Amino acid sequence: MIGRKWWVPWLWLSPALLLSGVFLLYPTIDTIRRSFLPRGSDALIGFDLDNYRFIIDNPQPLVADTHSALLNNFMWLTVFTAITVALGLVIAVLAARVRYEAVAKSAIFVPMAISFVAASVIWRFMYEFNPDIGTVNAVLKEVGGAPTRWLQDTGAPQTPFTHAGPDSLPHPLQINNFALVFVGVWMWTGFAMVVLSAGLKGISTEILEAARVDGANEWQIFWRIIIPNLSPTIAVVTTTLVIQALKKFDLVWVMTAGKFKTDVVATLFYKEAFLFNNPEIGAAVAVVLLLWVVPIMVISIRRFQFQEETR
Amino acid sequence: MSALVRARLVFLSISVALFLSVLVAAACGDDDEKTEGTTTPAGGSAASLSGKTVDVLGIWGSEEQADFEAMIQQWKTDTGAQVKFTGSRDINSLLTTRVAGGDPPNVALPASLGIFQDLARDGKLTPLSACPGLEDKVKADYAKQIVDLGTVNGKLYGVLMKAGNKGTIWYNPKFFQENGYKPLTANSSFEDLLTLTKQIADDKDAGKHDVFPWSDAEEAGGGSGFPGSDWIQQIVLGESGPDVYDDWVDHKIPYNDPKIKQAWENFGKILLEPRFVLGGAQRALATKFSEGSIPLFTQPPQAAMHYLGSFNSNFITDTTLGFPPGLKPGTDFDFFPFPGGGATGDANVMMLFNSDPATCSFAEWMAGPDSQEVWVKRGGFTSLNKKLDLSAYPNDLDRRIAQQLTDPATTFRFDADDAMPSGVGGDNGAVFTGVLNYLSGGDLDDTLRGIDAAFPAGASP
């Protein structure tokens, strides 16, 4: 019997192991190795910390603003994730109560079906400064507001009618960063909604009816019944979105190329490694991103294991 | 062994085999490339080139590739040789990869001086003197400053061919005539440009017309800010002269040198003054570079002048960008030289990787006036060859663009940001970002210090 031999599971595993070894493990180790090399070095191994010092000291704020990229990514992580999960949840709950649920959900899910680069190009047109081209500014102009430079304005978000605000703000609070995050939310709300909606359908109607019989109002049902029952699904959605936020690249690259202080970690490391010919600094930036992702992965794996055990 | 296990085994072996074949194919990729390139054996005279093939790497595609084919048709007929042309916008990485892989083309024509100088310094190029008579011919046909740009460490390696002129300020001649404004000449200074700007702005304030002196547009994706960078290099060349320009490009003076700072301030005198620029710097930052001239030609016009390189004439006649149809060069739109008597620009630099008779013969044909005239007549080619008959240009405007470059009185210099190291010049580099920062209201000293800090450590003077 072939099934009893010790090497059989390894045989089945080998294609996956080989693939993840060649395409994941090797590049990861090589990136870490490279991040400790001095610039332009051919050495096999080194213990140089200059590349990490570069990230901390931020000596070239014009081309590679490491601080702003880290702060922006933190903003993506928190604001993008929070808004998307909240919106997805609200829409999933509300849509379940109307007759045209399928239509409403499809409409919100459609952006997910568009390639991210295509969606970013579309939104570049939407945000165009010239109101004859940019839909957002055309609407603003129609209602009497001033056109806003959505992708270039480094000021704080402000009402469209009082177009003067403080110029020097912490970078993540810039109007253009929020404009980018909005596009991310537009793309990902559909995903959050569909997954949460499926989770919602899984909550047994008996619990809901029991609550209603006990005299709970809809608000209490939402907070006391739906949310706790949905929390594993919310956790899954949040984890997915957090990872999305951390590796955000396409949207920023297509829409602003990181100009006007909209860089995130992924665009910064691409620029350093592939455009500015500093692969060692690029590697260090990538390692920082990796360090950021690892705890989130650990938490989600722990949670998954916990759920498996309690099942 | 059960049927299921056997089926799984078959599936497994197929997937492993597939995976391995992908790996092998990837590993063999280089070898495939190598057999593609044709190496021409040495020996033989120009008459016996039939059957030989010259491997040429350029940037041209579609229409421009047809122009190029027309340009070399005569040579192919005369010699019987063939040309294998690869055109790619991504020529720089393609060229670097092929040279690093030991498989360079015979001739390459990138639009970048930086990669040319790097390859020449690394000894990858064949000097033109290796081809009999070629060096003398180039020196006779081209102005000394053009020859100098193709010279590295005292040896001539390259010929600057199809050029772009960045010393051009576009204006609406009808509006200028109606209001009595005179376009500037090659002898004007930046001060004259400021005077003209102030005059138009004052007349606007006095109610004579409702036209701003300038329109400006900086948005170009990763290249955003390049028009501003062009402004500044023109001002440096015109106000401080070619020696300061060369030192600046080579980073022999710091980027925040007072002379360079002065050029940025002059740039700011126009761009940061809301009275001078339609919609102010805010509009400029958010407007696409290809659409910057539109306000000059609306009815009535909203702006009088727009600075952009000679390629702007292609945009102005492109109605899909929003320009009104039927604009005629010379009467409806025109340019005057950027004040200061200098012109910056770029060009395709022709370089050789061997001195086989076919390669030499091809290079000689390309560098000469007869071949270039073919493309010049078809439009879209500005030649630097001074032997080329200027009457070949399809219209007066194109002729004057070329004349400005071949005029011995014009100081021609290659695009500054192209020659600066990556991270400083070029897309997403510090100079372009610095322009955006300055126009967004950023502090000038901080900006210049920031650009200087982006030079690789050790290059600082």
Report pLDDT for B208: 93
Chain B interface, best mutation among A62, A126, A140, A249, by max B CB count within 10 A: A62
Residue A154 lies in a domain: yes
Angle at B226 between CA B176 and CA A270, to 5 degrees: 160
Residue A6 located in a structural domain:
no
Residue A62 in any domain: the answer is yes
* B-chain residue closest to A133, CA distance: B322
Query: Tokens for A278?
Result: 């500093």
Q: Which of B219, B224, B433 sits opposite A63 (nearest CB)?
A: B433
Find chain B residues with C-beta within 8 A of A130's C-beta: 286-287, 291
Give the Cα separation of B119 and B98 in Å (integer).
12
Instruction: Please tell me the total count of domains within chain A.
Output: 1
Is the residue at A28 inside a domain?
A: no
Which of A12, A15, A129 is closest, CB to CB, to B283?
A: A129
The two three-digit tokens of residue A11, written as one number: 């045989």
A84 within some domain: yes
CATH number for the domain that contains residue A265? 1.10.3720.10
Q: In what order do the strands lie in the sheet with B168-171?
A: B212-215, B303-307, B168-171, B334-337
Q: For residues A193 and A199, what is the distance between their CA atoms, to the nearest angstrom? A: 10
A2, A14, A62 member nearest B5 (Cβ): A2
**CB atoms < 10 A from the CB of A228, how many?**
11
In a domain, A169, yes or no: yes
A184 CB contacts (<8 Å, ≥6 apart)? A76, A80, A84, A244, A245, A248, A251
Mean pLDDT value of segment A224-243: 90
Q: Encoding tokens for residue A288? A: 């920082």
For residue A204, CA distances in Å to A91, A96, A207, A208, A210 come to 19, 14, 6, 7, 10
DSSP summary character for residue B142: S
Closest-CA residue to B292 (of B222, B190, B218, B201): B218
- C-beta of residue A175 within 8 angstroms of C-beta of residue A148: yes
Predicted pLDDT of residue A15: 94
DSSP state of B422: B
User: What does pTM read for this prediction?
Assistant: 0.81
Q: Calculate ∠ Cα B425-B414-B270, nearest 5°.
A: 70
> Are B423 and A130 an interchain contact pair (Cβ–Cβ within 8 Å)?
no
Cβ <8 Å between A260 and B423 = no
Report the distance separating Cα B242 and Cα B256, nearest Å: 18
Q: Cα separation of B13 and A139, whole Å?
A: 60
Nearest to B429 among A18, A63, A128 (CB): A63
Q: How many other C-beta atoms are found inside a 10 Å radius of the C-beta of residue B134? A: 21
B430–A60 CB contact, under 8 Å: yes
The domain containing residue A245 runs over which residues? 44-309
User: Does residue B1 sit at the A interface (CB-CB below 8 Å)?
Assistant: yes
| Helix-, strand-, coil-residue percentages of chain B, each rounded to 5 | 50, 15, 35
Q: Which amino acid is at B25?
A: A
Cβ pair B427:A277 closer than 8 A: no
Q: B440 vs A260: CB contact, 8 Å cut-off?
A: yes
List pLDDT tens digits, range B411-426. 999 999 888 887 888 8
Q: Identify the contact set of chain A against chain B, taking CB-CB distances under 8 A.
A: 2-3, 11-12, 14-15, 18-19, 22, 39, 59-64, 128-130, 149, 151-152, 154, 167, 257-260, 271, 275-278
Top residue of B285, B431, B438 to mutate, by most chain A CBs within 10 Å, is: B285
Strand partners, B319: none
Whether B287 sits inside 8 A of A167 (CB atoms) is: no
Asked if residue A3 is part of any domain, the answer here is no
Nearest CB to A167; choose among B225, B286, B441: B441
Residue B80 backbone class (left: φ over 0; alpha: ψ -120 to 50; beta: rest): left
Return residues 285-304 of B near A (CB < 8 Å). Answer: 285-287, 291
Phi, psi of B405 (to 5 degrees): -75, -35
Q: How distant, in Å, are the alpha carbons of A230, A233, A243, B233, B248 from that of A299?
A: 18, 15, 12, 53, 53
Q: Nearest C-alpha of chain B: how many angstroms from A288?
A: 21
Say how far apart CA B367 and CA A289 lie, in whole Å.
Answer: 51
ipTM of the complex as predicted: 0.78
Predicted local distance difference test score (pLDDT) of residue A216: 87
A15 contacts on B by Cβ (under 8 Å): 12, 15-16, 19
With beta carbons less than 8 A apart as the criterion, state whether B215 and B298 touch.
no
The answer to whether B137 and B147 have CB atoms below 8 angstroms apart is no
Determine contact, residues B161/B375, Cβ cutoff 8 Å.
no
Asked if pLDDT for residue A301 goes beyond 90, the answer is no
pLDDT at A24 over 50: yes
Most confident of A35-49, A296-310, B54-68: B54-68
Any domain includes A39: no
The Cα B401–Cα B163 span in angstroms is 10
Low-confidence ranges of chain B (pLDDT < 50): 1, 20, 22-46, 458-460
**Beta strand B212-215 pairing with B303-307:** parallel
Tokens of A214: 């006990």
Give me the pLDDT at residue A182, please: 93
Instruction: Write the pLDDT tens digit of every residue in A124-157.
Output: 999 988 888 889 989 988 888 778 888 887 775 5
**Burial of A229: CB neighbours in 10 Å, binned 0-12, 13-18, 19+:** middle
CA distance B430 to chain A (A): 5
Better-scored residue on pLDDT, B34 or A110: A110
Check pLDDT > 80 for residue A11.
Answer: yes
B359 touches chain A (CB under 8 A): no
* Length of chain B counted residue by residue: 461
pLDDT of residue A245: 93
- Among A264-273, A299-308, B124-133, B439-448, which stretch is predicted with the lowest mean pLDDT? A299-308
* Chain A nearest-CA residue for B435: A62
Label the pairing between strands B151-152 and B155-156: antiparallel
Phi, psi of A295 (to 5 degrees): -60, -35
Question: Residue B337: phi, psi to the nearest 5?
Answer: -65, 145
- Residue B321: closest CA among chain A residues belongs to which residue? A133
Considering only the beta carbons, identify the residue of A149, A258, A271 that sits closest to B282. Answer: A149
Query: Taking residues A185-205, what's their average pLDDT?
Result: 92
Residue A111: pLDDT over 70: yes
Would you call A136 exposed, middle or buried from its count of C-beta atoms within 10 A (0-12, 13-18, 19+)?
A: buried
Tokens of B452: 């200087």
Residue identified by tokens 């402000």 is A158
Burial class (CB in 10 A: 0-12, 13-18, 19+), A151: buried
**C-alpha closest to that of B455 among B264, B259, B250, B153:** B250
Q: Is B454 on the interface with A (CB under 8 A)?
A: yes
d(CA A266, CA A164): 32
B11 touches chain A (CB under 8 A): no
The residue assigned the tokens 């909604």 is A193
Which residues between 50 and 89 in chain B have a beta carbon less than 8 angstroms from any beta carbon of chain A? none
> What is the CB neighbour count within 10 angstroms for residue B208?
12
Inter-chain CB proximity A257 and B222 less than 8 Å: yes
* Pairwise CB contact (< 8 Å): B454 & A63: yes
More confident site: A167 or A115: A115
> What is the C-alpha to C-alpha distance for residues A236 and A300, in angstroms, rounded to an integer?
8
Task: Name residues whose C-beta falls within 8 Å of residue A202's C-beta, 6 or more positions apart in sequence.
Answer: none
